[in-house]
Structure 1
Amino acid sequence: MTTPETRLPFLRLPFLRRPIVRRLGGAAAVTVLLGGLAVAGSGQLDAQTNSSETYRQLNLFGAVFERVRANYVEEVSEEKLFEAAINGMLSSLDPHSSFLNAKNYRDMQVQTRGEFGGLGIEVTMEGGLVKVVSPIDDTPAARAGLLPGDLISHLDGEPVLGLTLSEAVERMRGKVGSEITLTVRRGEQEPFDVTLERATITIRSVRHRTIGDIGYVRITTFNEQSTSGLQEAVAAIHQELGDRLHGYVIDLRNNPGGLLDQAISVSDAFLERGEIVSTRGRGEENSSRANATPGDITDGAPLVVLINGGSASASEIVAGALQDQHRAIILGTQSFGKGSVQTIIPLQGYGAMRLTTARYYTPSGRSIQAKGITPDILVEPAKIEKIATQRGRREADLRGALVNPDGTAAPGKADDQKPADAQENADAGKGGEVDDYQLARAIDLLRGIHLYQSRVVN
């Protein structure tokens, strides 16, 4: 996530009862007078802005705005109409671009710091319904058994259809201790209700434990505490196991992503050199390349990274970097495929806009978008773990999703998904059996690598 300085024009709309002049950003602005075509400002306006077609479309917007304000069956505030128009423009571009009013922008800033109020689910919109991307570990949503791919059709009996994603999220949040009932659609099952009690969601983004001679690290999301949490986890595991340590499992299953800089620094923690990720947009200002700095916090210990269809965005950057740099073996099932960069552009006094500005590329030049990361070793969950019967949905399934620039599609088969919780999956610290089939295979792989290396040395 980047937050560049922005220079945006403002509009004076003479068809309103009183002029509204809004300056978005902190630069010298251009004033556009609709209707009279009088233009005043600094610098050259590009040819598109000067075209008559642009003015015709702006006048159309003004006419519709005025007609709605004057004749709609109920009085609607100008602010609500403007916000809806802006959000409609952005959300029509792709599933991840949107407008954040001042309150939603503050909520987003709180969330990236790792603490917020709500139910504990990462969501997006699909077909007018709220779609669960991933439940967050140890939250009301995870404890209630919500799964990636679940569709939420009603909130307290009120339909979601017609709401924007921001509006739906706002309704799901509320006073800690209050309850909300979600109507959930899951595959071919009949819709069912789930009642959740809202809680303060404090995201402990990194958890760890030892499983015999293996260090297990689960990263649930990428917030401001992720890198420091990873460093503490690795240090604690090394202190506990010492020379008995055979390797690490880094569990990124159902990790919906988060901050780009944290994905880069987490990748860098395991790499000595080489590219981590590049972004490519329309212009140089939206294109960048991140490289690793010397220093591997695990001292080169073997790594296995677990991914599945709920692993998205920042988690795909980490998996792709470690895979392309031959630093880790990727095990599990195809990841979600969200390979686009959203820039948060503050609009001074009015919130912010989330705009897709670039695509991610792994070090080998692969685009993640609508394709995802293909694991080195395909391991599906054991049948007993396949609670959900529906195909796990991915980025390519979302309405309006950006296409992958190389023109290839992701493998068609998707995994049935079950939330991966470190507290349940890694209950084998004293040599017991691991119930999580994918995790068990990762542990077997690391032990096999250690056995082979010890025999080669001897």
Structure 2
Amino acid sequence: MKEAINSAPSRRHFLRLTSMAAASALAPAWAEQLEPADSATSQPVSARLATFEEVWRTVRDRFYDPHLHGLDWSAVRERYLPDATRASSEEALASVTNSMLSELHASHTRYYTRYEPEYYQLSDIFAGALRRRGLERAFPGGRISYPGIGILSRLDMQGHSVITGVIERTPAQQAGLLAGDVIALADGAPFQPVQSFRDKIGKEVVLSVRRAGAFMQISATPVDIEPNKMFLDGLRASARIIRANGRSIGYVHVWCYAGSVYQRTLEHLLSQSPLNEADALIWDLRDGWGGAIPEYLDLFNTRAPTMQITDRNGTSELRNVKWRKPVAMLVNGGTRSGKEILAYGFKKYRLGEVIGTRTEGAVLAATAFLIGGGLLLLAVEDVHVDGERLEGVGVAPTIEVQADPDSMDRSDPQLNRAIAVLSEV
């Protein structure tokens, strides 16, 4: 979620909403070109300490709770300062900084480096605000991109990348990678989500992958990813019809909701063939980023009219599109921020079944700061929904279905349950 929720947000306020003040230290323009071997020398110690201090001050001055959850923030600084002083690289400094931030026990509060896809994704999500804060000094020309294959991932206990999502119409999907796959190596070297693909755009990279206990090699060809475009293209490419029990079930996956363009695209998809001919809809909000606002649930308001607008050339488009057929929502522990607000309202007002596992419970309002060579995502406002606080709690599904990480073919029991529910309506 971005920075605030209200019933009639302004465009400026909306752009501040996602899941999750100007910074005085900005990444140098040449920073994007550094190789991993350069990390230890990419910043002098004084610059790394300046980054640590700037993060600490920004939290002190902008964190949503002025009492910082009861912490003595100055004492916290003194405790982590020796480790920050000893940090020999940007990654090591980020680790110390995030250990400090974790003491706040707050979502939307983390420091990302340029070696993480999230740095680029959040920079693109918050580009409107960051453009006023010197975005072009980190991304010359204002174009935000990184080399990748189109996956979302997290680190396991061994430090390996576990794929949590494969975006449609990306090299990862084309290569046959699946959620739950563990990537250990890339071209024989330890896998890094960004650096493994640096200078390899358009060139085949061999990934060593563990799937359900078996090891395999999968080749993928990285591309230059523009995050918002990837998420939007993935939304469009996800739309399909699933046949079950003589019924047509529409399916669409919204990976990111940080911008009204995603909702407009969803409405357009639902108004066009083949989705508009479906008997029911599966609305997949698992994983990815938030940014949604409560008004998006109006899509399922059966009492409001839809308009068709036709210009003098005969071109028509639908406005205020509504879905008046059965619908189910998919959620999991990666459903976060504004998506959780949608899940809360969808469940409370009984728009359909919410299927999967409890959402993340990351429902604070945040903004982003470019500091040093990285990006600080910081919770700057508290959020209550219909008087309830979802932070740290999340939304429980109406039908709980666990994922199946041990399936060799990575079958999707949550999706299968939604299909079963809707095909019996």
- Contact 1:252 1:311 survives alignment (8 Å): no
Q: Which amino acid aligns with 1:2?
A: K
Q: CA deviation at 1:248?
A: 3.1
1:108 aligned to 2:133?
A: no
CA 107–250 in structure 1, closer or farther in 2 if over 3 Å, else same = closer
- Residues 229-250 of structure 1 show CA distances to partners (whole Å, capped at 9, x for unaligned) of 1111222259964xxx7x4313
CA 336–171 in structure 1, closer or farther in 2 if over 3 Å, else same = farther
Structure 1 gaps, min length 5: 11-15, 31-44, 70-75, 161-167, 274-294, 392-414, 421-435, 449-458
What TM-score do you get using the length of structure 2 for normalisation? Answer: 0.59
- Contact 2:48 2:372 survives alignment (8 Å): no
- Residues 378-433 of structure 1 show CA distances to partners (whole Å, capped at 9, x for unaligned) of 6789xxxx7x5259xxxxxxxxxxxxxxxxxxxxxxx964499xxxxxxxxxxxxx
The corresponding residue for 1:258 is: 289
The corresponding residue for 1:99 is: 111
Pick the structure with more helix per residue: 2
The 5-angstrom pairing of residues 276-295 of structure 1 reads none
- Contact 1:304 1:329 survives alignment (8 Å): yes
Which of 205, 214, 232 is 1:180 aligned to? 205
SS at match of 2:322: coil
The corresponding residue for 1:397 is: none
Which of 239, 253, 258 is 1:219 aligned to? 253
Alignment partners' CA distance in 2, 1:269 and 1:358: 27
1:192 aligned to 2:216?
A: yes
CA 139–58 in structure 1, closer or farther in 2 if over 3 Å, else same = closer
- Contact 1:112 1:259 survives alignment (8 Å): no
1:326 aligned to 2:350?
A: yes
SS at match of 2:168: coil
Q: CA deviation at 1:132?
A: 1.5
What TM-score do you get using the length of structure 1 for normalisation? Answer: 0.55
Q: Which amino acid aligns with 1:176?
A: I
- Contact 2:255 2:289 survives alignment (8 Å): yes
- Contact 1:214 1:443 survives alignment (8 Å): no
1:85 aligned to 2:127?
A: no
- Contact 1:341 1:356 survives alignment (8 Å): no
Alignment partners' CA distance in 2, 1:157 and 1:336: 37
RMSD of aligned residue pairs (Cα, Å): 5.1
CA 440–338 in structure 1, closer or farther in 2 if over 3 Å, else same = closer
Q: CA deviation at 1:136?
A: 1.2
Alignment partners' CA distance in 2, 1:49 and 1:372: 26
Q: Which amino acid aligns with 2:186?
A: L
The 5-angstrom pairing of residues 235-384 of structure 1 reads 235-237=271-273, 241=277, 247-252=279-284, 255-261=286-292, 264-271=294-301, 297-298=321-322, 301-307=324-330, 309=332, 312-313=335-336, 315-330=339-354, 332=355, 334-335=356-357, 337-341=359-363, 343-347=366-370, 350-355=373-378, 365=388, 367=390, 373-376=396-399
- Residues 213-234 of structure 1 show CA distances to partners (whole Å, capped at 9, x for unaligned) of 7562402412433201111122
Alignment partners' CA distance in 1, 2:210 and 2:216: 7
Alignment partners' CA distance in 2, 1:17 and 1:24: 12
Alignment partners' CA distance in 2, 1:358 and 1:28: 14
Give the share of equivalent positions with the same residue, in percent.
Answer: 17
Alignment partners' CA distance in 2, 1:368 and 1:88: 20
Structure 2 gaps, min length 5: 5-15, 26-44, 61-65, 128-143, 304-318
Q: CA deviation at 1:443?
A: 4.3
The corresponding residue for 1:441 is: 420
CA 337–90 in structure 1, closer or farther in 2 if over 3 Å, else same = same
- Contact 2:83 2:96 survives alignment (8 Å): no
Number of aligned residue pairs = 335
The corresponding residue for 1:233 is: 269
CA 97–214 in structure 1, closer or farther in 2 if over 3 Å, else same = same
CA 64–136 in structure 1, closer or farther in 2 if over 3 Å, else same = closer
Alignment partners' CA distance in 2, 1:182 and 1:134: 17
CA 221–106 in structure 1, closer or farther in 2 if over 3 Å, else same = closer
- Residues 92-151 of structure 1 show CA distances to partners (whole Å, capped at 9, x for unaligned) of 768974312468644533378898641111112231222221111222222333333333
Alignment partners' CA distance in 2, 1:440 and 1:46: 47
Q: Which amino acid aligns with 2:148?
A: G
- Contact 1:135 1:419 survives alignment (8 Å): no
Bigger Cα displacement from structure 2, 231-240 vs 208-217: 208-217
CA 359–307 in structure 1, closer or farther in 2 if over 3 Å, else same = farther
Q: CA deviation at 1:438?
A: 4.2
SS at match of 2:272: helix
- Contact 1:340 1:357 survives alignment (8 Å): no
